[in-house]
Chain A
């Protein structure tokens, strides 16, 4: 057997195929998306006014200042945070479960949140409202609280089970079962409820960025940052997990603790989003695939930052579309993400030649 010829091999940089220039384009798109979501809304506000308001120089109409600063700005921020959070969470779920169809809610997190919200809106109903009003907890804050508690309960369950279970598929199935069980309870609550409340609950389940105020953002921003921070420490273990848990273990990964951190981070992200904005689908599944295609890589050191930005952009675009610029109506976010997103992603993926590799976990 001849010795391998080392001298003729050129020195290869570790990540040569990464399209770094993509990030530049994405940054520009992010800025554009952010601006668009500030510009488009039910009320027509001229762009120069918006700029003036942002730089503190007042505007022609007093209500416009409030609208831009208290309505649109928090909405845009929320959209960016939600897009980033869901995408990062979805990416982690797809890798952990080696399943290209995994989304942030695969473990029933949003079912737990839905149950919490359903109990408040449908179950306790007016009694609850009066009760909560007496405690000073009426309205969206109680919803966010209820949703967080529900999501948190499922999260704890998932973590407990995650410690004991060897096989990630088992975890997945248990998560699905949690989801079904809570959905059943929610259905029961709907059945016994009056139409106004059902409508309220249904509206919540359509998802919305517009309901988040600055004071809610004070809670939401740190929570999402924590979730993102956890994820940004995990690209190496996530890469190892691409080979499967057995290989990862033999490469030195502590599977139990890695799994717990991933679950914790991803669930916080998914739970916080659902708590404040309702369940928002599609972004968490699609954006990771979109990024894999765009960057032609499954390396999490590239993907995690990539899905953060692309997720934010996608959510901003969805928000602008939902505003239905020109008409006075607004669409629910979930409708927009599904209707526009699915065909688009199919197109992107089919364009790529490496269809097999893109769909792989």
Chain B
């Protein structure tokens, strides 16, 4: 199993600048009634490249699923062009398209009495004969796909008995077994807890880079996107799309803007949302490293603005290490009280 091998002469990979999946002046939306068309986003110019993990990020309801489904050919576009490897999407025979592109969707799948292996094996659909019989090569591909997502031990178990996260993995394995060049995943992290989300994104990143796949993941997990995406497609509520490396979008302020629209403050320094709106008091902090980072967060949550130690002398917090344990020493007008935890510190600050 390796790179998707182009079979037709038409396909022309003109270097890495051109995306394997490309949208020009794309308008997405849906039909409502006979003649009404509702536009979700317009004038989209997008590129998905080999060897890249792109994240489609945006608030709920902005149209991420619509975009993904349109790119996958599940929904018709309203106007514009979508090309895959240089050829318009709608000129692809379904089977050809299946060999180039596969998806993982949000819908719950209910397959009845089928084992995980069989479900993953369904991904070989475009390659098997009319009866769906698999040869050794097919079987190997499926097993490798399951292994790649870490679902190999689940093979013999019945799909409906797996947990949500396990099922998710099997569905990704299925998408991988299809041996596509392009993988589109719609909110794959939705069912997973944080550690598993991280693992999943890491795995997708690895698949993109090591196997040369072009992967697009839609998510509203901003943090994860910032960490793992090579490319971010940022959609905002007005249907505008900004594209770039995550860091570029942070520095350019687009991230902050996209979420400010929702009434939430994005903190460019931390790459996170600010939990509280305006700080009411100021306090100085003397600390280093991790202790500094986390104490700052706690103080900010409590409504403090944390300033450098030089600015305030009468009320400040000092973090020290005594006998291997961290101690928070609150200095107030010459007094110093030691607290063994941040929680205790905050309690005394709020008195």
Give A contacts to B, CB under 8 Å.
Answer: 1, 4-6, 9, 11-12, 14-15, 17, 98, 233, 235-236, 239-240, 242-244, 246-247, 249-254, 292, 296-299, 301, 354, 356-358, 360-361
> Chain A contacts of B94 at CB under 8 A?
249, 252-254
Determine if B46 is an interface residue (Cβ-Cβ < 8 Å). no
Determine if B189 is an interface residue (Cβ-Cβ < 8 Å). no
* Sample of 5 A–B contacts (CB below 8 Å): A4-B147, A6-B147, A15-B118, A239-B122, A298-B114
A4 to chain B, nearest CB (A): 3
> Chain B contacts of A249 at CB under 8 A?
73-74, 94
> Chain B contacts of A354 at CB under 8 A?
113, 158, 160-161
- Closest residue of chain A to B97 (Cβ to Cβ) is A252
Among B72, B133, B160, the residue within 8 A (CB) of A250 is B72
> Chain B contacts of A11 at CB under 8 A?
139
A-B Cβ contacts below 8 A, count: 122
> Chain B contacts of A358 at CB under 8 A?
112-113
Q: Are A247 and B161 in contact (CB under 8 A)?
A: no
Question: Contacts A1-B206, A252-B99; is A236 near B131 (CB within 8 Å)?
Answer: yes
In the bound complex, what is the Cα–Cα distance between A297 and B139 (angstroms)?
A: 19
> Chain B contacts of A6 at CB under 8 A?
143-144, 147
Question: Contacts A1-B206, A249-B73; is A292 near B126 (CB within 8 Å)?
Answer: no
> Chain A contacts of B125 at CB under 8 A?
236, 240, 251-253
Among B73, B99, B103, the residue within 8 A (CB) of A247 is B103
- Which of B114, B133, B155 gathers most chain A CB within 10 Å? B114
> Chain A contacts of B117 at CB under 8 A?
12
**Cβ contacts B131-157/A at 8 Å (1 or 0 each):** 111100001000110011010100110
> Chain A contacts of B5 at CB under 8 A?
none
Q: Are B206 and A9 in contact (CB under 8 A)?
A: no
> Chain B contacts of A17 at CB under 8 A?
115, 156
Determine if B219 is an interface residue (Cβ-Cβ < 8 Å). no
A197 to chain B, nearest CB (A): 45
Determine if B292 is an interface residue (Cβ-Cβ < 8 Å). no
Among B113, B123, B130, B133, the residue within 8 A (CB) of A233 is B130
- Closest residue of chain A to B145 (Cβ to Cβ) is A4
Q: Are B122 and A292 in contact (CB under 8 A)?
A: no
Q: Are B105 and A9 in contact (CB under 8 A)?
A: no
Q: Are A292 and B113 in contact (CB under 8 A)?
A: yes
Beyond A4-B150, A250-B101, A354-B113, list 10 extra A-B contacts (CB 8 Å).
Answer: A235-B132, A242-B114, A244-B109, A247-B105, A299-B114, A299-B118, A357-B160, A358-B112, A358-B113, A360-B110
The 3 closest A-B pairs by CB, nearest first: A298-B112, A252-B98, A4-B147
Question: Contacts A246-B74, A250-B101; is A361 near B112 (CB within 8 Å)?
Answer: yes
- Closest residue of chain B to A233 (Cβ to Cβ) is B130
**Cβ contacts B82-116/A at 8 Å (1 or 0 each):** 00000000000011111101110101011111110
Q: Are A236 and B130 in contact (CB under 8 A)?
A: yes
In the bound complex, what is the Cα–Cα distance between A354 and B119 (angstroms)?
A: 17
- Contact residues, B203-254 vs A (CB, 8 A): 203, 206
> Chain A contacts of B102 at CB under 8 A?
250-251
Among B101, B107, B134, B202, the residue within 8 A (CB) of A14 is B134
Q: Are B152 and A4 in contact (CB under 8 A)?
A: yes
- Closest residue of chain B to A2 (Cβ to Cβ) is B150
Among A244, A250, A297, A360, the residue within 8 A (CB) of B98 is A250
